[in-house]
Structure 1
Amino acid sequence: MSSLAVTASSHSSASAAIVYAALLNAESWPLWSAYADVEWDVPAGVDRPARVDDLRTIRSRIGRMCCRERVVEMVPGRRFSYEQAAGLFTSHRGSVDLTRAPHGGTDITWSATYRHTLSLLDMLRSRRLQVWVHDLASYANSTVSRKS
């Protein structure tokens, strides 16, 4: 087994704050990603924003694959980083970086590293990450359009 580093990027006409909000809003994930369900694991009755060390459970639409991720870094409007806490790929770590684009909107860069990977999956992971970052940008664009 070898390691893999993947980076994908896209542009959104939305502000970094809107893109960042979509990343944190578990209810929006099924609207723009391949996931059917994303839940923040917070104690019952607790209503607070996500924070570093929080866990979230993600279930896919296809095959009902499930993983748990731990938030490792949050810089509102600029960066959201996570690592796999449990699931099939426990060596996975990812980061979404948001930067103001020179001509307006936000440039989105989603990076992921896998300590252990199979070369047969490398192309699939690269393609999937590009789809996710594109879908996130499109969702943020549609959010701006709906508010206009």
Structure 2
Amino acid sequence: MAVQDIDVSATTAASPHTVHALLVDGATWPTWSPLGSFELERPADDGSEGAGAIRIFRTGRLRNRERIVECVPGRRLSYVLLEGMAVRGYRADIDLTETADGTRIRWHSTFRAKMPGMGGVYRRSLTTFLQRSVDGLAERAAALEGRAAGNG
């Protein structure tokens, strides 16, 4: 089965630090994304939600269990799906690039569908979900800094 690729982005007037702070605080995700709830199953070795932390997000009946695999303050957060959606090898890299006016947020995900023929269906659905997430993240970060957000 083919690897599915999703690449969405937005820009915000907020700093990369503010955006990253939201990403590493799973409790904020339901406030700026379509996710319903958050639970920290296990923090990273240093007690944070950094690399090694396992987080659970629920939306409706779907429960996704994810492990953070890379956390670079102000630059990147990457996670992999441990269980939940009917996909294999799901990985998301959220990269933050400082711009003259704030931050460009790029959310890139790859995966393979478990069921033949379902890759495109999952990709379309997840693209919409992730675009809503990145747009909400950009808006929330800008609001925290009291600035206007723009999408890119």
TM-score, reference length from structure 1: 0.86
Given residue 32 of structure 2, which amino acid in structure 1 is its aligned partner? W
2:4 corresponds to which residue?
4
2:123 corresponds to which residue?
122
**CA spacing shift, 1:90–1:106, aligned 2, 3 Å:** same
Separation of aligned partners in 2, 1:51 and 1:124: 27
Q: Does the 8 Å contact 2:34/2:129 carry over to 1?
A: no
Percent identity among equivalent residues? 34
Q: Does the 8 Å contact 2:52/2:68 carry over to 1?
A: yes
Q: How does 1:102-113 map to 2 (within 5 A)?
A: 103-113=100-110
5+ residue gaps in structure 1?
none
Given residue 50 of structure 1, which amino acid in structure 2 is its aligned partner? E
1:145 corresponds to which residue?
146
Given residue 89 of structure 2, which amino acid in structure 1 is its aligned partner? S
Given residue 75 of structure 1, which amino acid in structure 2 is its aligned partner? V
Separation of aligned partners in 2, 1:24 and 1:135: 15
- Report the 3-state secondary structure (helix = DSSP H, G, I; strand = E; otherwise coil) of the residue aligned with 2:3: strand
Q: How does 1:1-148 map to 2 (within 5 A)?
A: 1-42=1-42, 48-60=47-59, 63-88=60-85, 89-101=87-99, 103-116=100-113, 117-145=118-146
- Report the 3-state secondary structure (helix = DSSP H, G, I; strand = E; otherwise coil) of the residue aligned with 2:144: helix
Q: Does the 8 Å contact 1:2/1:119 carry over to 2?
A: no
Deviations 1:56-115 (A, max 9, x none): 11111xx231010011101000000000011123421101000101x2211100000012
Separation of aligned partners in 2, 1:119 and 1:42: 32
Given residue 29 of structure 2, which amino acid in structure 1 is its aligned partner? W
Separation of aligned partners in 1, 2:30 and 2:50: 21
- Report the 3-state secondary structure (helix = DSSP H, G, I; strand = E; otherwise coil) of the residue aligned with 1:7: strand
TM-score, reference length from structure 2: 0.84
Figure out how many residues of one structure are paired with residues of the other and give that number.
Answer: 141
**CA spacing shift, 1:121–1:8, aligned 2, 3 Å:** same
- Report the 3-state secondary structure (helix = DSSP H, G, I; strand = E; otherwise coil) of the residue aligned with 1:91: strand
Given residue 104 of structure 1, which amino acid in structure 2 is its aligned partner? D
Given residue 62 of structure 2, which amino acid in structure 1 is its aligned partner? M
Considering only aligned residues, what root-mean-square deviation do their CA atoms show, in Å? 2.0
